[in-house]
Structure 1
């Protein structure tokens, strides 16, 4: 029997790092051999995340104290800018899945515009493969570095990519109204995310086209269409821990839109098309690597609503990362990821 692959997780003390640990815990071909957590170095994962106390895990250490000699693949769950500085110092023959924004954008000038600084690892940026698994699967299999998508960006793309490619919607009239759980903002203490500040309300943010994930929409949708495509996108923060749901408003025939999506995702193990006229819910994908998509016609002729829901920490980030890692390591893509959603 083949030996399990040795895995390191950098930034394991954050939400996406903990989610990776949770998923890898039941993966038959991955062993966690190193965990980093700069501010919590020296601590045990059971003390940082008590829900993982049943697992036999390495202690958290600083990145410079990790021996990468026998590591087959490294997940990098660090903040943007920090991630590129760390990855360029890692062994050049080691496979890396980056969960930050550092390698998602192909144009260095676009990165500088949206992230406020020059990219410091352009050689790695040039080789990195965009990590939306269902659409870059063949490239990911042979990649050394894979750049995980933004969770909001992934949700919108699952709803729209086949429709843009199929030419079945008006490319100049696309609206994405998205709601997301607070874990997408990370684990650092921030006043707007305190319970008393966040609960019992919904909070639009990055209004008017300032959200950084718009750069991914611009890049990917324009590449598919062969011309510039710009969408209207407004994210809303919900008083919920997990989940993203995007209501996507488009011009086109609803049945044709539905049929196009059904055909595109017919063989995808983690994309579930709901019956026509049925809307998904974040509660039905919670804790899973599944994305549910529904299509409904509008009372205004020639318009439709496409609704996509996924778990931002799993399919939107750590689950997607593990799906990509499976491909990079020559393992079955679904391995370790077929956990049913948590309900209720």
Structure 2
């Protein structure tokens, strides 16, 4: 069983959700430092990613799975300070990033050793913290479920989000023939184009179905990655190519509306979706293996790098959530702890 190292305190600062609501419900509190199980590592967190599921949890719309920490935060980067008896891949001092089922908004967290990855060379802690949940979500949905192949076209909704920016870079690295994104502002349109999109549609002013038809010569796109839902679901059917695949990642606009299933049948479309948090450790470990073997070399080659828009101190988590709620960001928002300052 784990014995606390002298350098590991008994308590830590963590962010609690005092009640369902807006960013103001996120409050710093003192919690016991978690103790790793036999198959876990204890990580001194330097940085933690802020994600859509954290927002849903803050609002009371996304409860942690059984046994998970009630502290929000699904992706972290830091250093291993202790390891359970069954852990052999990591030792104290290793710099890592990890996917956690909760507990990321804190100074320490435990992570299953199979869901922990050594940092790619040259990657900053804040960049590494922007990867595990977001990159795994994109890989699972765009590559594994959406089956995007080199030479195919893709439409990425929410192109300015962490999911959208990551999907744009992955699609480009995988050899997509045409990358189309939807964004809200001219600044986001220009940023999306610089990142690798061939076309960026300003959805508040332009109909994405019409623009996709124009950009593809009436063919439609092979794969659609959607975080929006609502009325987008029916419109995605119109924008998809014959035998297209549509993957639902989130439902920011709520349930599907005015849904006509005939285009789904006539075009022989596939509509699928998934969540990452509820998948088994084995499922997640399989995704991580593919990331380490296929994406880590892209990072080493400079073909992929997480887009970090802004960082906030852990105690200012509510300001980070106010920013993600505003939709003004392009890329990821990351929290940092005093450990990063001392590193």
Taking structure 1 as the reference length, the TM-score comes to: 0.31
Larger strand percent: 2
